[in-house]
């Protein structure tokens, strides 16, 4: 296991507390919020509670473009008719660019002539927060993502039937998922401790087409292994898993994830200690998030675990491939996985 490597400058059993100010999020320190998520058959389930996402500006900047950060985190407004979605006529789902929460469907979008994407209703009232905006000498109703407080735009009472509302939203605050058949391949990032063994386990699963080990969930761009092991980057060791949904559904992939590690131990897997070893699922689609949360809830209720699940379930942020000597390490050098019995 990597904790036995001769790296004198790295202490894997460092007893110092994790430096949350540099990590991507502080979900465990905040109260939960109530939202609705999109399941794998395209319907919204009952309201559930999820952790509120509170990030540092450094963490948001590591995830977003300059325009996205300016709009969502500083409450700015993009120029009219310049956003990528104001004239988008494709059918699909619009989600929060910061945390992936579903916000609007294309069937509620209309041409308001204002130059910004406009919707007459959100996918779920629970997913939208509202505050009074008194800037520029007028009172308006500002709308934001209820989970991460991302600024979206404003809502006005001059929209079409049936609601009479116009949600005037910045394109930079949104991501778009087009309707249609599932792509031939999807990807997800899993953190489950030492990524050598995690990659070896997922590489054996029928329907997985490719795996890469790397780093994600932190604030440092292009980190090295030594950077991540210093416990200052906020990154987790992860495996990027590419799979074919036609052969392997995501729920079955999650079963493997829960089996190969202990999701209750926080920033530790066996002798490997540190925030880079935390349990994490970094989803890339709204359906993956809903399936992951439902799977975690079932497992926690099953009584099979020694404590509550600490696994982060967050929108995937930039993935940085690890150094070549880490890739397919067990296949190159032999040895079993790092699985803890």
22 vs 175 pLDDT, higher one: 175
Compute the average pLDDT of residues 171-177: 97
pLDDT score of 304: 92
pLDDT at residue 337 tops 90: no
Q: 238 - beta bridge partners? A: 214
Q: 109 - beta bridge partners? A: 119
Indicate the SS3 state at residue 176.
strand
147 contacts 122 by C-beta, under 8 angstroms: no
Confidence of residue 110 (pLDDT cuts 50, 70, 90): very high
Report how far apart the first and last C-alpha atoms of the chain are (Å, whole number). Answer: 14
Compute the average pLDDT of residues 115-129: 97
The pLDDT tens digits of the residues spanning 268-305 come to 898 888 999 999 999 999 999 999 999 999 999 999 99
Q: Catalytic one among 98, 99, 148, 194?
A: 194
Give CA–CA dist 271/192, Å, rounded: 13
pLDDT at residue 4 tops 70: no
pLDDT score of 148: 98
pLDDT score of 185: 95
281 contacts 190 by C-beta, under 8 angstroms: yes
Q: Is 231 left (phi over 0), alpha (psi -120 to 50) or beta?
A: left
Compute the average pLDDT of residues 205-220: 97
Give CA–CA dist 269/339, Å, rounded: 9
Compute the average pLDDT of residues 72-97: 96
Beta strands in 157-203 (DSSP E): 166-169, 174-178, 186-192
pLDDT at residue 5 tops 60: no
Give CA–CA dist 63/203, Å, rounded: 28
pLDDT score of 205: 97
Residue 194 annotated as catalytic:
yes
Residue 145 annotated as catalytic:
no
pTM: 0.88
pLDDT score of 30: 66
Handedness of CA 165, 168, 169, 171 (dihedral sign): positive
pLDDT score of 212: 98
Here the tokens at position 268 are 């530790």
Q: What percent of the chain has pLDDT over 90?
A: 79
3-state secondary structure 73-110: HHCCCCCCCCCCCCCCCCCEEEEECCCCCEEEEHHHEE
Ranking 43-52, 131-140, 204-213 by mean pLDDT, the lowest is: 131-140
Q: How many C-beta atoms surround the C-beta of residue 130 within 10 A?
A: 13
CA distances for 54 relative to 5, 28, 30, angstroms: 35, 10, 8
Confidence of residue 134 (pLDDT cuts 50, 70, 90): confident
Q: Catalytic one among 96, 99, 168, 338?
A: 168
182 vs 85 pLDDT, higher one: 85
Give CA–CA dist 176/178, Å, rounded: 6
26 contacts 282 by C-beta, under 8 angstroms: no
Say which DSSP state 137 is in.
Answer: G
Give CA–CA dist 72/95, Å, rounded: 13
């Amino acid at each position: 296991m990597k904790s036995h490597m001769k790296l004198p400058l790295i202490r894997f059993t460092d007893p110092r507390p994790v430096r949350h100010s540099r990590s991507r999020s502080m979900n465990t320190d905040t109260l939960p919020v109530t939202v609705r998520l999109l399941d794998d058959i395209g319907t919204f389930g009952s309201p559930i509670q999820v952790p509120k996402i509170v990030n540092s500006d450094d963490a948001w900047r590591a995830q977003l473009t300059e325009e996205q950060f300016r709009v969502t985190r500083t409450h700015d407004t993009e120029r009219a008719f310049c956003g990528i979605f104001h004239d988008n006529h494709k059918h699909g789902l619009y989600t929060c660019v910061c945390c992936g929460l579903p916000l609007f469907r294309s069937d509620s979008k209309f041409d308001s002539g204002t130059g910004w994407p406009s919707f007459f209703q959100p996918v779920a009232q629970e997913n939208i927060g509202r505050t009074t905006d008194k800037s520029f000498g007028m009172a308006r109703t500002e709308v934001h993502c209820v989970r991460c407080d991302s600024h979206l735009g404003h809502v006005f009472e001059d929209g079409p039937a049936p609601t009479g509302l116009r949600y005037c939203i910045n394109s930079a605050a949104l991501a778009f998922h087009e309707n249609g058949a599932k792509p031939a391949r999807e990807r997800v990032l899993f953190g489950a401790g030492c990524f050598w063994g995690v990659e070896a386990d997922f590489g054996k699963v029928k329907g997985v087409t490719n795996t890469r080990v790397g780093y994600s969930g932190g604030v440092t761009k292009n980190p090295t292994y030594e950077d991540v092991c210093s416990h200052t980057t906020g990154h987790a060791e992860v495996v990027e898993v590419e799979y074919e949904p036609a052969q392997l559904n995501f729920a079955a992939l999650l079963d493997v994830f829960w089996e190969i590690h202990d999701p209750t131990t926080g920033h530790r897997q066996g002798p490997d200690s540190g925030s880079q070893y935390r349990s994490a699922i970094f989803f890339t689609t709204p359906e993956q998030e809903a399936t992951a949360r439902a799977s975690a809830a079932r497992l926690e209720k099953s009584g099979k675990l020694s404590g509550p699940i600490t696994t982060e379930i967050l929108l995937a942020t930039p993935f940085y491939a690890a150094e070549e000597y880490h890739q397919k390490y067990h296949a190159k050098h032999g040895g079993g996985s790092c699985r803890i019995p």
